Every structure is written in C-alpha cells, then in structure tokens.
C-alpha cells in the first residue's frame, strides 16, 4: 500500500500487486502433474507471497528471505534428501541458483542470475522450464536404455563369437547394427520437441 499526501493531508491510497504472467499457472499445473513438490521462495512479504501462491493453486511459501537465506533454504532442502531445481531471474537469486542441483535462469533476467545458472532459458516462455525437466528425464531414460542395448549385445554376441557359434562376417555385421540401434534410440528424443 502506498499513501499519498498533499499539503500534509492524506489524499490517496494505492494498492500495488504483482501480476501473474499468463503462462505461470499452466506451468505450475504441469510441474505439479509431473509429481514435483513446489515451493515459492521469495524475499517479498509473507502476505504478498501467499497471495501469489493462492493464485497459482497453492504451494508451500517461504517468504521474507534475504539472498543468503535463500541459499540456506536450498541447502536445508538438499540435506533433507531433496533434489532441488531453482528458477530465478534476479541478483538476489544468484546464491540459491548456484547452490541448487539445477539452477534455471530466465534469459531476460539479470546478468548475475544468468551467469549463476546451469540452464538459461533464452526466451521468457515459462513453459520451457517444463520442457527442460522433461528433456532431462527423457535423456537419462535414453542413456539407460542404450546401456542396456549395448550390454545385451555384448552378453549375447561375445560368447557366441568366442564359442565359434557365429561366423566373423555375422559378428562384423552385428556390431554396427547394435550401434545403429543405440543411435536410433537416441534420435527418438526429438519426438519430445514435437509435443512442445
């Protein structure tokens, strides 16, 4: 609230509130649907932060924290066994972005936040945060699948070759085929971008 006085007399009272970006509620909903626990970590007053959290569908609120306290909050969450992704765009977010397991800066944010983050979103589309999360999960799953393909090939083909159950020609052909399977499986990651 801002009060305006003219000639020593109260003339007006202005209410100032943060406007939510239109893409914020859908992002929060998609992250929640993906099973993520969400926390609003803010230096703003608790009442203002709680009002924003209500507009976003409700979440834990940690408010009125200084930059070094944001870093401590992230450290405490990690000590509790949580993997923490922090999204920020201001100078006061830099320590927490560095401390988080994954720091995500909005490209339109300050230079300090951009330099402190692991991921920098080049635009200011918040949906890219969900895309980055989905891409990282898909990448890890693909890596595990490719390791499985390679191990399966080696468990089958190497003993067969050692026992002379297959010819050198079959062994020579099967090796690039297994490599093509791994490459083809990795290329499927592109389908994720078609959805987004």
Q: Is the pLDDT of residue 56 over 70?
A: yes
Question: Greater confidence, 46 or 123?
Answer: 46
| Best-predicted range by mean pLDDT (38-42, 106-110, 160-164) | 38-42
Is the pLDDT at 180 greater than 70? The verdict is yes
CATH of 17-125, one of 3.40.50.720, 3.20.20.140, 3.40.50.150, 3.40.50.1000: 3.40.50.1000
- How much is the pLDDT for 120? 87
Residue 145 has pLDDT above 90, yes or no: yes
Average pLDDT on 142-155 reads: 92
**C-alpha torsion 113→34→187→139, nearest 10:** 60
Model confidence at 196, in pLDDT bands (50, 70, 90)? low
- pLDDT greater than 90 at residue 144: yes
pLDDT for 190: 84
pTM: 0.71
| pLDDT exceeds cutoff 90 at 143 | yes
Q: What is the pLDDT of residues 118-135, one digit of tens each?
A: 888 887 788 888 888 888
For the chain, give the mean pLDDT.
87
Percent residues over pLDDT 70 in the chain:
97
State pLDDT tens for residues 27-39: 999 999 988 999 9
The per-residue pLDDT for 76 is: 93
Q: pLDDT, tens digit, for every residue of 64-92?
A: 998 889 999 999 999 999 999 999 888 88
């Amino acid at each position: 609230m801002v009060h305006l006085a003219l000639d020593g007399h109260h003339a007006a009272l202005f209410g100032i509130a943060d406007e939510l970006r239109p893409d914020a509620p859908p992002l929060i909903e998609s992250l929640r649907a993906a099973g993520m626990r969400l926390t609003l970590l803010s230096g703003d007053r608790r009442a203002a932060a709680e009002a924003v959290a209500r507009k976003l569908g409700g979440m834990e609120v940690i408010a009125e924290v200084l930059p070094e306290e944001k870093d401590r909050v992230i450290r405490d969450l990690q000590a509790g066994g949580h993997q923490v992704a922090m999204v920020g765009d201001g100078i006061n977010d830099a320590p927490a972005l560095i401390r988080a397991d994954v720091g995500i800066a909005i490209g339109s944010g300050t230079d300090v936040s951009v330099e402190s983050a692991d991921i920098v979103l080049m635009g200011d589309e918040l949906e890219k945060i969900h895309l980055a999360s989905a891409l990282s999960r898909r990448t890890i799953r693909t890596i595990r699948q490719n390791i499985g393909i390679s191990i399966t090939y080696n468990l089958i083909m190497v003993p067969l070759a050692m026992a002379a159950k297959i010819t050198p020609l079959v062994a020579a052909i099967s090796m690039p085929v297994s490599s093509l399977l791994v490459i083809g499986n990795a290329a499927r990651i592109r389908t994720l971008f078609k959805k987004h």
